[in-house]
Structure 1
Amino acid sequence: MFSLKGKIAVITGAGSGIGRAIAVVLAEQGAVVHILEVDEKAANETLKTVIENGGKGYFHWCDVSNQSAVVEIFNRIDRVDILINNAGVAHIGTAESTSEADFDRIYRINIKGVYNCLHACIPLMKKHGGGRILNMASIAASLGISDRFAYSMSKAAVLNMTLTVAKDFINDNITCNSISPARVHTPFVDGFIAKNFPDNQEEMFEKLSKTQPIGRMAKPEEIAALAVYLCSDEAQFITGTDYPIDGGFIKLNS
């Protein structure tokens, strides 16, 4: 079950965290992975892990906010069976404190970047008989979270793009779903804690972990396991659906 042998997968932002975990596990299941990333060193580390685990992959330097560059890369790859729109940046701030520059940056990467990849990929999927699209949303798309104004806006857009793409291309054998994680233990979290709470890092890590009712953060590999299923043939009857993977955060905190 869940074999991806012979599939061609594109994963954006796969240099670390969730994107890296997804790239590694998709390759382990047989997919040839194409990593689109601006951090060349991080991408090559992911690629090294993919190859060491017996997988096959390629790295393409790509700023997903640049449509012409995105289209050129996708056309060069040509056939894409799986698209994982994972690239994104975080931001802390309210509508009052968020600067125009920060708002625009969130828009360019988290929203326009997803659109650019959809715009470039869907014609190729139609050309080759269909495919699986998986967008990385967030629990922030579905409920209010303090100090996450621009980030929440961007993830709500990703969630709605998921729904409209699923409806628009349902007759082209293209499915489109999204995953909405709660807090995941990634290098970003460690860096955030080290920068903002240098004197009590362990205490803050524990506090952030317990914001999930289950009592801990998710592991990137747990998000990747759900991604594998949604990209597999076993999930071909699923489209237009968002999957919270949140340790009970949405339902048990409402």
Structure 2
Amino acid sequence: MHNIIITGASRGIGFAIAKELASANTNILISSFHNSKLLDEAKDILASKSNKVISFVGDMGNYEDVSAMFDLAIKEFGGVDIVINNAGISIVGLFQDMTPNEWQEIVNTNLTSVYNCCHFAVKDMLKRHSGKIINISSVWGLYGASCEVAYSATKGGINAFTKALAKELAPSNISVNAIACGAINTTMNGHLSDEEIEELSLEIPAGRFAEPEEVAILVRKIIESPNYLTGQVIQFDGGWI
């Protein structure tokens, strides 16, 4: 039985991952901060597939909220074997127009959330010398994106965090990897017009955006891989960059 936490799982990539991993051999906790109604709907869908599903509404950038989430998971499941850090937001605009509050919000949601979740996950995983952490990142964390400076900075932080923590935890048989997503067909790209999506698709050698379900399949493949696969930032972008 695998006990799994997936953050930002009310929709998009997080929900697709939850659906891909749901089975009679999994217990899953899904979390969301702003979409409690969608989270309830996601829980109902997953309940028919997974051994046990629980939901948690909270801010992954808030240490106390994440502490409460892990307390709940450990109480209900007995431990946490797999953590998928997917919670994230994007703010598109010129850097000089970004306010300190906006900067802090994106750092907390995208990067501090990974610290918080890994902090509690590692404590639990070390007891068993076993575990897998997968961080959902972005190609912009590798190459940077104009008008998404803060987003790029947080994703770059996740990539470095992944590589460093993987080295620290490898002796304990705990793997840490990241997926650097390219253009994915989610609401995060909802600011793009149909024409912009078409133009961007032409820049991608694969000729299209990826679907969230494809990211989910890659997550499952990483979970199924030996723990010797660790410290990797896997670029999933259709050959784009």
Above 0.5 in TM-score? yes
Q: Alpha-carbon deviations, 1:174-229, whole Å to 9, x = none?
A: 1000001101001332x323xxxxxxx43233123323221100000110001001
Partner of 1:167: 167
Alpha-carbon distance between aligned partners in 2 of 1:245 and 1:41, rounded to the nearest angstrom: 30
Shift of 1:120: 1.2
* Counterpart position of 1:197: none
CA displacement, residues 20-79 of structure 1 (integer Å, 9 cap, x when unaligned): 000111114732110121121111222222124455311011211110221122123221
Moved more, 223-232 or 45-54: 45-54
Aligned to 1:80: 80
CA deviation after TM superposition for structure 1 residue 106, in Å: 0.7
SS at match of 2:160: helix
- Tell whether the 8 Å contact from 2:27 to 2:51 is kept in structure 1 after alignment: yes
Equivalent residue of 2:97, what SS? coil
Aligned with 1:71 (options 67, 70, 73): 67
2:8 aligned to 13, 32, 41, which one? 13
Could you tell me which amino acid in structure 2 is paired with residue 192 of structure 1?
H
Aligned pairs for 1:102-141 (under 5 A) are 102-141=102-141
Task: Name the SS for the 1:237 alignment partner.
Answer: coil
Give the aligned partner of residue 146 of structure 2: 146
Q: How far apart, in 2, do the equivalents of 1:243 and 1:29 lie?
A: 28
TM-score of the superposition, structure 1-length normalised?
0.88
Size of the alignment, in residue pairs?
236
Q: Which segments of structure 1 move beyond 3 Å, counting only runs of 4 or more?
A: 52-56
Identity of aligned residues (%): 32
Is residue 2:201 matched to residue 1:240?
no
- Note if 1:25 corresponds to 2:38: no
Separation of aligned partners in 2, 1:71 and 1:92 = 30
TM-score with structure 2 setting the length:
0.92
| 1:196 match | none
